[in-house]
Structure 1
Amino acid sequence: MTTIADVAREAKVSVATVSHVMNATRHVEPETAERVRAAILALRYSPNSLARGLRRGVTKTIGLLLPDNSNPFFAGVARQIEDAGFVAGYTVILCNSDGKPEKEERYLSVLMAKQIDGLIFAGSSDHARVFSRLSKSNIPAVLLDREIRSVNVDSVLVDHRHGGRLAGQHLAGLGHRKVGAIGGPRDSSSSPARLRGFAEALHHAGLRLPKEAVVDADYHFAGGRVAMERLMAQAPHITAVFACNDLMAMGALSALRARGLRVPDDMSVIGFDDIPYAATTWPPLTTVAQPVDKIGTRAVALLLERLNQPAAHSRHETLTPTLVERESCASPGGKS
């Protein structure tokens, strides 16, 4: 049977350091912590969490409530959370809400009945109601991609506005002067921030983003395809389009291909997320990458720290996206 001492030897650290990484009881340098996690996974070490849980009155389970883990972005986040939870000796229970408040509340009741130790949550726009229930039950929670100041809850955020600026700067830098955008759902927090940053970058370059050059969709492939068709009808002179996530960008590529248009010769396309499929589209998709690995691991780390320090002030970590240049963007061709 693998022991914590075996993990310590494999990672070349002390047993105490392994314990601190697993229980988030003390800060450990990121490189060292990653070495410990790799050793735990390699050796398939599983602590006796049941006995320890019985002593401490905990279940060693984390609830994970996401809108839709069939979306590759959320699937990636879920995998990172599951891996980080496993390393810390926790089981993760995943629920999909489809972004519907009624499903969120129902699943929350299910998770609370299972006596989860904590919750990681990303969902609809009506988070305050859900977290009001959590605060009354004393279940610690970490919110993904939203921040609620009215309740004491930690959050892991991404600077979506900065990501939108990166997309706008890239297209303007390539020489595009007439551009369009495909936004996500209006009640989401991420899409408006991405579009705001995109418009700011264009404005800084002396360009405009007219209303007719923006079409809202639903963050899905089919929605992106329909939105691209509408965009070409409403703003036929654009030479580039920014889609607020990669699935919609892939739908846009499909719509353009169906019309016999070439990317990037006739139209440049840039997405957001950098899901695994983005590098395999044709042409490979230029996109703004979200730090998926950090989103998941930091969410688990904050939750474990909260479990050890329930009275601490709420913490809000903001992660920075980066531009990934591939082959779907180029200088504008012959369009005027």
Structure 2
Amino acid sequence: MMKMIDVAKRANVSTATVSRVLRKPDKVSKDTREKVLEAIKELNYQPNMVARQFRTKETKTVLVVIPDVTSPFFSEVLRGIEHIALESGYRVILGDTENNINREHEYIELLLQQQADGMILLTARMDRARLEEIANQFPVVLACEYIDELDVPTVSIDNISAARKATEHFIELGHTRIAHIAGPMNVILSRDRLKGYEQAMISHQLHIEPLYIKEGDFSLESGYNQMLHLLELEVPPTAVFVFNDLMAIGAIKAIKDKGLRVPEDIAVVGFDNIKMTSVFEPNITTIDQPKYEIGKKAMDLLLNLMNGETLQKKKFVLKDELIIRESSGFKRI
């Protein structure tokens, strides 16, 4: 079945332009309109009938695009979104990209077909210009992830500052050989948390050992495997700051499987403060993100946009907190 993106490629225009031709043809130049209509005819494209029905009405539906529906971190963000949505008479459609950029584009097709009144993106892997184009046509809010210099309402924490705080916690405990298991470097959160780690090391005149920086993929398994690589080094680290709590759990298991102790032999700090961190043995020191509040704020902003309001402020940075537990240990003598 042909999609709107196929029409856009045939007519050599954007999908947003195709959407305008279908919704508001008077807003598109005659030449462009004719090109799009010709492409629609050639491809036998059938615009979504639900979208036609709601051309002048609200769907009372919002689309939430998430990178990994299995993540315990995002479940709390989603709860905040859904609570505000339901209170306001909206239902939530969930799109799981499974960290696949092509899936992200596919879900946006639903917005272009007007099957939702607005969208909250909990992932921001697509091209900045493309996202701005979509946001100029529809209400869009970014949450958790973000894109530099993007003129779209965004809710997040300061990931650089938070990572710096986590790393400095190790330094205050007396560690100098500090490693970092990062997330994928194609994700801005991974780059920012690496930057925070590096800033802390540099500001305290500590050497950044390239072999101490390993790249994972968000999963528990990658935390386990990357920790094993660190343990195989001739001089392994005494502390490890990990991109997220799931990978931190994997890292701790690898340490234990090698017959070592946490934090006595190697200290560990995670990120996100998912519920599991307070019951895992040892309890995990981590950066707490206000997950539920991020979801609520994102939905509040989307409601404002869908009501036609102009936002005076578009960047909202919520407060994070270092939660100190057993896995980072006590001050080293």
TM-score, length-scaled by structure 1? 0.78
Residues 86-165 of structure 1: pairs in structure 2 closer than 5 A? 86-113=86-113, 115-128=115-128, 130-132=130-132, 134-135=134-135, 138-144=137-143, 145-147=145-147, 149=149, 152-165=151-164
| Alpha-carbon distance, 1:85 to partner | 0.9
| Alpha-carbon distance, 1:217 to partner | 0.4
Unaligned runs of 5+ in 1: 1-53
8 Å CA contact 1:191, 1:244 repeated in 2: yes
8 Å CA contact 1:202, 1:208 repeated in 2: yes
Q: Which string of whole-angstrom CA distances, capped at 9 and with x for unpartnered residues, describes residues 27-48 of structure 1? A: xxxxxxxxxxxxxxxxxxxxxx
| Alpha-carbon distance, 1:313 to partner | 5.4
Name the structure 2 match of 1:32. none
- Secondary structure at the counterpart of residue 180 of structure 2: strand
Name the structure 2 match of 1:305. 304
Deviates more, 1:215-224 or 1:95-104: 95-104
Residues 186-335 of structure 1: pairs in structure 2 closer than 5 A? 186-234=185-233, 236-312=235-311, 315-331=314-330
| Distance 1:314-1:58 versus aligned 2 partners, 3 A rule | farther
| Alpha-carbon distance, 1:233 to partner | 1.8
Matched AA of 2:100: K
| Alpha-carbon distance, 1:314 to partner | 6.2
8 Å CA contact 1:183, 1:217 repeated in 2: yes
| Alpha-carbon distance, 1:201 to partner | 1.5
- Secondary structure at the counterpart of residue 260 of structure 1: coil
8 Å CA contact 1:140, 1:153 repeated in 2: no
- Secondary structure at the counterpart of residue 187 of structure 2: coil
Q: Which string of whole-angstrom CA distances, capped at 9 and with x for unpartnered residues, describes residues 1-50 of structure 1? A: xxxxxxxxxxxxxxxxxxxxxxxxxxxxxxxxxxxxxxxxxxxxxxxxxx
Percent identical among aligned pairs is 32
Name the structure 2 match of 1:41. none
Q: Which string of whole-angstrom CA distances, capped at 9 and with x for unpartnered residues, describes residues 261-281 of structure 1? A: 111111100000001111111
8 Å CA contact 1:265, 1:333 repeated in 2: no
8 Å CA contact 1:219, 1:248 repeated in 2: yes
8 Å CA contact 1:158, 1:290 repeated in 2: yes
Give, in whole Å, the separation in 1 of the partners of 2:264 and 2:70: 32
Matched AA of 2:173: L
Task: Say yes or no: does 1:81 pair with 2:77.
Answer: no
Matched AA of 1:248: M
| Alpha-carbon distance, 1:114 to partner | 5.2
| Alpha-carbon distance, 1:260 to partner | 1.0
Name the structure 1 match of 2:63. 63
8 Å CA contact 1:265, 1:332 repeated in 2: no
Matched AA of 1:96: D
Give, in whole Å, the separation in 1 of the partners of 2:66 and 2:248: 22
Q: Which string of whole-angstrom CA distances, capped at 9 and with x for unpartnered residues, describes residues 83-110 of structure 1? A: 1211111101001002222111112113
